[in-house]
Structure 1
Amino acid sequence: MDKFRITMPSPQSYIRSLGPISAAIFDDRGIIIDCNRQFTALFNGNFEIGKTPLSELLPDENNLETLRLRWENSQETGENVIVKANTGPAAPSEIRCSLCSAEHGERKMHILVLHDKGVAGELSLLQQFSGTFIKDVNLGVLLVDNEFRLVDVSELACSILGIDRQQSINRPMEDIFQSVPKEHQLVQRTLLDGVLVRNHGVSWTNNRERYELLMDSNLLRDEAGNVVGAYVIFKDVTNLRSLEQQVQRSDRLAMIGQIAAGTAHEIRNPLTSIKGFLQVLNRTFYQTGMEREQGYTDLMLGEIDRINELVNEFLLLSKPKNVTYDKIDMSSVIRDILPIINNQAVLHNVTIQYQSVYQIPKIVADRELLKQVFINLCKNGIEAMVQGGTLTIIERVEYRERKVHVEVHDAGPGIPAFLIDKIFDPFFTTKDSGTGLGLSVCQRIIHDIGGSIRVSSKGYGTTFTVSMPFSPS
C-alpha cells in the first residue's frame, strides 16, 4: 500500500475525529465533498459542498496533484508544506498542511488537513472555542450565511428541531423547514435584515415532543462591516417553564385546598339535613302516588349528590391524608382498573388496547391514588372519542433515567395549542358538565409521588404521559 494512502471504514468519521484540527475531503477533480466543523469555521463557510474547487480555497494551488507532489517531497526533506488560504477578507493566511489519499469501498478520495502556523495560531484558539461552543450539550446553535443557507448546526439543535445535520448543511433554511408554515418557522429570513431577538420565548413541537425554547440571535459582519451571516442560539427551558407552571398551580391548589378544607364541613352539614328531609318527602310522594312531585325530589337528590362529589374533589386538592406509600407494580395497578375502564369504553364504542412491560420495576406510591389518576385519564380519553375509536395504554421503562412511563393515548380531536397550557389549571374544563378539577387532582397526586405528568397533542389525538422514578432493587 502507498505510504500516503489510508484505508478506513469512513473518511467522514476520520475528519470529525481530529478535534480542533481543520480537515476536508476532496474528490479526484479537486472538488470539496465534505469537511468538519473546524474547516467550515476556518473559511467562514465561504464554499459550497460538491461545487467549490481546491483552487478557490488555496489560491496558489492549481490542483491536487501539485499539492500531493509537494507533500511527498516534504516527507523526504522534512520541511513543512505551507499554503496560503482564503480564510477571510484580509490577506491569505499562511497555514501548514498535510495531504493523504483515502479509500472507501471503490471510491478514492483525498484528505486535506490544515495545521495552524504563525498568525494562524490565534485562529486556532478561535477554532477550538467555536468547535467546543457548537458542541455544547446545553445549547442549540444555528449558523447561516448571507444567502440564508445553513452553514453549521449543533447536535442539540438537530435533536430538538428534528433535522439531519449531513442533509441540512449548505441548504436554504426554507428547504430545511419546508414542512412548517413560513410564519411558524423558528428562524426567519428577516434575521439577515437586522430583525434580532433577545430572550425570546418560543414553543416547538417535534413529533409528539413539545419544547419551550429561549432564543437569541445576532448578525455576523466582516472587518468592513458587511453582513456575512447570522447566528441563532437557543436553550431548552422546557423543564424550567414546566417547574414554574407547577409551582404556580401548586400555589393555587394549596389555596383552594385550604378554603375547601375549612368550608367542606359547613357545606356538608346543611346538605345532610336537606338530603334527609328530601328522602322522607320522596318516600311519602311514592306512597301517595304523587309521581310528579316524586320526580322533582329525585332531581333535587341527584343535584345534592353532585354537590357532594364536588366537595370531595375540593378536599382532594389539599394534601391527601392517610396516604400509604409502598413498593407497587405499575402493571398490576393498570390491570386492576381495566374492568372499570372497559365498562366505560363499551358505552362509548371504544376499544381498549394495553401494552404492558414484563417484570416492570416497582415504584413507591399509593396504589389507590394511582388508580384514581389512571381512571381519570382513561375516562377523559374515552369521553373525547365521541365517534368511537381506540384508547391505548402503553408502559415504557427508561433504565438510564430510572423512570417508568405510562402513556394514555386517545384518538379524539386533540387539544388546541392555545388551550394545552391551561388544562391542569383548577376549574378549567372543555366539558359542559365538568368541574375542571380532575386533572388538577391527578397532577397533585403524581407530583406528591415525585413524578411528572405531561400532555401532548398535535392535530389528532392526545397523549398523557405519567412518569415516575424507580429505585434499583
Structure 2
Amino acid sequence: MNDKGRALNKLEGTEKELQFYKNLISQLPFSFSYRDAEMGMQLDKGNDEYYSIFYNEEIQQTKLSHIDKKLEDLPFIEIENFLEPILDLVPHHIVFIDKKGVVTLCNLQACKDLHKSKEDIVGRHIRDLLQIPDEKINLLETLKSEKAIVNREILDKNYGINNTRIIRGPDGNIQRVIGVFHFLNGIKEAEKAALAGRIAAGIAHEIRNPLTTVRGFLQILQSNSDKVTADLFKTLLIPEIDRANKIISDFLRIAKPAEITTEEIKVKEFIYDYLGKFLNSEALLHNIVIEYETNPDILHCSFQVNREELLQVFINLLQNSLQAAGSAELQIQLKAERAGDDIRFTFKDNGKGISESIIDHIFDPFFTTKDEGTGLGLSVSQKIIENYNGTMDVFSDSSGTSFIIDLPISNPENGINYHSPRR
C-alpha cells in the first residue's frame, strides 16, 4: 500500500473514532457546554438529539447521528485531551485503557469516588486503580474477549452498573477500551440508612411504651414503701428509667424528627441575652474562661430557629469541651461572623483535641470514647443544625477543637426570606 493509501486509511480510522465519541455524547442524559479558547470552538449539548458547535462565534447546528464536516487527522492522545474536560462533567466513572491495560484517561468523578488523583491513575495499569484481581476487571475482560459489556450489575464493594466499549484503529486492532461505571454506592447506603431509621424508630417507640408503664408503677410503689426503699426508687430506679427514656428521645430526634415551633431571633439577642447567661453561669461553676467575639455587622441579623434546641447544641458542645479539657485552664471562644448569606458560629476550645483516627466518626450515632455517655450528643446537635438548613463541621489538632456552625440569615439582603426547618 502506498503512502496515500495509508494516509486515507488513517484518516478513515480517525474519523471513525471521532464518530464513536459523537455517539457517546449523544447517549449522555444531560446537557452541558464546553469551550476551547485556543481552538476557537465551543460545544453546547441540549437535552435533545442536537448539539451546537461554535466556530469563532458562528453557530453550526449539527445532528448527532450525521456529521458532514470532515475533521482533520488527529493523534489519538489529542482526541482524549479534547474530550477530557467534557467527560469531567459526567457524574459517572469514565476510564480509557490502551491495549496493554494502562489507563490513558480518567474523569474527575472516578478520581473522586476512588479517592485518587489523576496523577495517581493515568499511566498506570487499571488494576492499580481498582485494587482487585485482573479476572474481575470488566475493562480487561473486554480487552481479552473483544466483546463489549452492556449494563452489567457490579456487586462488590463498589456497587453499580458497568458498560464497556471498544475502539479499533485503521488496522482493526484495539486502540482503546472505554468503561462507563454508574456508581450507586451512595444510593444504596441512603436506602439502607432510611430503612434502618424506620425500623429503629419503630423499635424505639415500642420500648418507650413499657418504660412509661414501669415508671408509673415505680412511683406508686415509692409512695407506699419505707424510707430506704423509697430512696432507692428516687435515687436509682426512676432516674435510670428517665435516662433510658432520654436516650430514646435523642435517638428519635435523629431518626424521625418531630415538628417544633420556630421563631425569628437576632444574633445579639441570642448570644448576649440567652446563650450568654447560660455559658457565664457554667463558666463560674467549672472555673473556665469564655470569650465572645462578634462582628458588628452580624449582631442585628436574624435567623429562624427554636432557641431551646439551639441552646441544646451549645450545651452539648460545652460538655464535649469539659470532657476533653487538658491540664491547662479550659478556655472557650465563641465567635459570630457573617459568611455569605449565613451566620457562622465558631465554638473553639483549647482542649486535648480529637484524634485523627476518630474525627470522621464523632457525628455518628452512639459513637463515643467515654466510659459514660450515649454517643448521641453530637449526632443530635448536627441533626438540629441540618433541620434549619445549616451545616456543622469540626476541625481539631493538638491545640484544641473548633466546631463551625453555619445557619442561613433570614434577611440576607434586608428583606425577609424565611427558611423553614426540614422535617
> TM-score when scaled to structure 1?
0.47
User: Is 1:365–2:305 an aligned residue pair?
Assistant: yes
Q: Which amino acid aligns with 1:438?
A: G
Match of 1:324 in 2: 261
**Among 48, 65, 89, the residue aligned to 1:136:** 89
Matched position secondary structure for 1:413:
coil
CA distance in 2, matches of 1:307, 1:340: 27
Range with bigger deviation, 342-351 or 240-249: 342-351
Superposed CA offset, 1:359-389 (max 9, x none): 2753322110111123124423542456677
User: In angstroms, what is the RMSD of aligned CA positions?
Assistant: 5.8
1:160 Cα offset (Å): 7.4
* Cα offset, 1:196, TM superposition: 4.0
Question: Counterpart of 1:15 in 2: which secondary structure?
Answer: coil
The answer for the alignment partner of 1:281 in structure 2 is 227
Q: Which residue is equivalent to 2:244?
A: 310
Check whether the contact 1:150–1:169 (CA below 8 A) recurs between aligned residues.
no
Correspondence for 1:412 among 345, 351, 354 = 354
Taking structure 1 as reference, are residues 154 and 274 closer, same or farther at Cα in structure 2, changes over 3 Å only?
same
Q: What SS does structure 1 have at the residue aligned with 2:42?
A: coil
1:11-57: per-residue Cα shift (whole Å, max 9, x none)?
A: x9732763259xxxxxxxxxxxxxxxxxxxxxxxxxxxxxxxxxxxx
Contact 1:408 1:465 in 2 (8 A): yes
Tell me the residue number matched to 1:375.
315
Aligned length: 327
1:433 CA drift (Å):
1.9
Distance in 1 (CA, whole Å) between partners of 2:205 and 2:281 is 35
- 1:223-234 aligned at under 5 Å gives the runs 223=169, 224=172, 226=174, 228=176, 231=179, 233=181
The separation in 1 between residues aligned to 2:285 and 2:175, in whole angstroms, is 64
Give the match's secondary structure for 2:298.
coil
For residues 77-156 of structure 1, what are the structure 2 equivalents within 5 Å? 85-87=74-76, 130=83, 133-136=86-89, 138-139=91-92, 141=94, 143=96, 151-154=104-107
- Measured in 2, the distance between the counterparts of 1:392 and 1:139 equals 43
Indicate if the aligned counterparts of 1:219 and 1:227 stay in contact, CA closer than 8 A. Answer: no
| Equivalent residue number for residue 222 of structure 1 | 168
Q: Structure 2 CA distance, aligned partners of 1:242 and 1:353?
A: 41
2:354·2:397 contact (CA, 8 Å) conserved in 1? no
Question: How many angstroms does 1:173 deviate by?
Answer: 5.5
Decide whether aligned partners of structure 1 residues 201 and 356 sit closer, same or farther in structure 2, where only a CA change above 3 A counts: farther
Distance 1:219 1:421, change over 3 A: farther
Look up the SS of the partner of 1:19 in the other structure: strand
- Alpha-carbon displacement from aligned partner over 1:54-75 (angstroms, at most 9, x marks no partner): xxxxxxxxxxxxxxxxxxxxxx
Q: Corresponding residue for 2:56? A: none
Distance 1:375 1:273 in 2: 34
Q: Which whole-Å CA distance do the structure 1 matches of 2:182 and 2:289 have between them?
A: 42
Q: Deviations over 1:293-312 (max 9, x none)?
A: 9xx95897256434434334
* CA displacement at 1:314 relative to structure 2: 3.3
Q: Distance in 2 between matches of 1:369 and 1:323?
A: 9
- Give how far 1:326 is off: 0.8
d(CA) in 2 for partners of 1:214 and 1:140?
10
> Which of 3, 18, 23 in structure 1 is aligned with 2:41?
18
Work out the percentage of aligned pairs sharing the same amino acid.
18
Aligned to 2:198: 251
Q: Does the 8 Å contact 1:250/1:444 carry over to 2?
A: no
Aligned partners of 1:300, 1:421: CA distance in 2, in Å?
34
1:262 matched to 2:209? The reply is yes
CA distance in 2, matches of 1:330, 1:243: 35
Q: Which has the larger radius of gyration?
A: 1
Distance in 2 (alpha carbons) for counterparts of 1:246 and 1:351? 40
Question: Given the alignment of the two structures, is residue 272 of structure 1 paired with residue 219 of structure 2, yes or no?
Answer: yes
Question: Which SS does the other structure have where 2:264 is aligned?
Answer: strand
Q: Which amino acid letter does the alignment assign opposite residue 89 of structure 2? A: D
Equivalents in 1 of 2:283, 2:180: separation in Å?
48
Distance 2:123 2:40 in 1: 27
Q: CA deviation at 1:263?
A: 3.8
Distance (Å, rounded) in 2 between the aligned partners of 1:331 and 1:144: 59
Q: 1:219 to 1:422 in 2, by over 3 A?
A: farther
Q: Give the whole-Å Cα distance in 2 for the aligned partners of 1:249 and 1:306.
A: 26
Is the alpha carbon distance of 1:307 and 1:325 closer, same or farther for their aligned partners in structure 2, counting shifts above 3 Å? same
Instruction: Give the alignment partner of residue 364 of structure 2, picking from 406, 423, 436.
Output: 423
Give the whole-Å Cα distance in 1 for the aligned partners of 2:201 and 2:248.
Answer: 10
Gaps of 5+ in 2: 1-34, 45-69, 140-152, 417-423
8 Å CA contact 1:385, 1:412 repeated in 2: no
With structure 2 as the length reference, what TM-score do the two structures score? 0.52
Q: Distance in 2 between matches of 1:406 and 1:271?
A: 44
- Relative to structure 1, the CA distance from residue 442 to residue 151 in structure 2 (aligned partners, 3 Å threshold; closer, same or farther) is same
**C-alpha separation in 1, matches of 2:117 and 2:39:** 16
- Aligned counterparts of 1:86 and 1:384: Cα–Cα separation in 2: 60
Kindly provide the amino acid, as one letter, of the partner of residue 242 in structure 2: N
